[in-house]
Amino acid sequence: MKYGIGIDIGGSHVSGGIVDLMAGKLLKDSYREYPINPLAPSDEILDNWMTLILNIIGNNTLISKIGFAMPGPFDYERGIALFKGVPKYTHLYGLPVRTILTNRLVQETGRNFELQFINDATAFALGEYAFGAAQEMSKCWILTLGTGLGSTFLQNGTPQLTGRRMPKGGYLYNQPYKDGIADEYFSTRWFVKQYPGIASVKELVILAIKGDKKALDLFCLFAQNLAAFLSPWLKKTQAEGIIIGGGIAHAWEYFHPTLVSEIQKADINIIIKRATLGGTAPILGALT
């Protein structure tokens, strides 16, 4: 099999395209991206996904596999949505997504496709390991910082989900930090809460560019918190690298220097890189 379709199910949009599996490249002309309302009724959400998939497939007869980078909670083995207690896709709860999409694809195309579901943070990590910033790193944490904290620990390219030194599922978002959990401190929500009047990290970056002291101080505080939270996990897992992607990575120059210095203060020698593939990473990783 040379070609497959990678689909990234995001909180505000869905995107995807045809992947050359031999070269590990997204065929640019095949890329599609549609906005989505994650709180819409289930039929509307699934219709949106199907429109994207069918648009990408077009008349291509060489594709037999579709990989989905899917946020959790989700039963990835059985393809069943378990979204509950999260601000997206709650109307899909309990639905057999794999069965529904498989049947609809047969109806629309007359063909059977193999559907694969992978956690979106894991798909992002696998894409960066195979083709991006995490190449040649034997032990590394790959983080996506945006609407939430996504995390995957890779050892020689294999996600580590269990083990004495590993948080359950490799998830850091629900680990305790200060008076809450990590997700509350290392996501867009934290910045919005700290700086009333802004709605995104992008707005905060614009303020930082203009020299706004509060914005600059917030990025430093964010980096200090992130270093304090990560340091024990870096030591436990003996990681040699951290790769950071997601929307917050757009503020890289404003938090990266402090993050490096704070982790060095914790007597940890580690490589810290910004992810290089952007939105392409989960699309590629969904097919691994």
Residues 6+ positions from 100 with CB-CB distance below 8 Å? 46
Scanning the structure block, which residue is given the tokens 């496709």? 113
Helix (H, G, I), strand (E, B) or coil at 85: coil
| The pLDDT value given to residue 56 | 96
* Low-confidence residues of the chain: pLDDT under 70: 1
CA distances from residue 217 to 47, 175, 213, 223, 254 in whole angstroms, order as listed = 44, 25, 6, 10, 9
- Which helix (H) or strand (E) is 231 found in, with range? helix 213-237
Tell me the per-residue pLDDT of 144-158, one tens digit each, with 9 for 90 and over.
998 889 899 999 999
Q: What is the pLDDT of residue 1?
A: 62
Average pLDDT score over the chain: 93
CATH class of 135-276: alpha beta
- pTM assigned to the model: 0.86
Q: How many Cβ atoms are within 10 Å of 72's Cβ, its own excluded? A: 19
In the chain, which segments carry CATH 3.30.420.40?
3-112, 135-276
Architecture of domain 3-112: 2-Layer Sandwich (3.30)
Instruction: For residue range 158-191, list pLDDT tens digits in order.
Output: 999 888 888 888 889 999 999 999 999 999 999 9
Per-residue pLDDT at 279: 87
Residues 6 or more apart whose CB falls under 8 angstroms from that of 204 comprise: 191, 195, 198, 215, 218, 219, 251
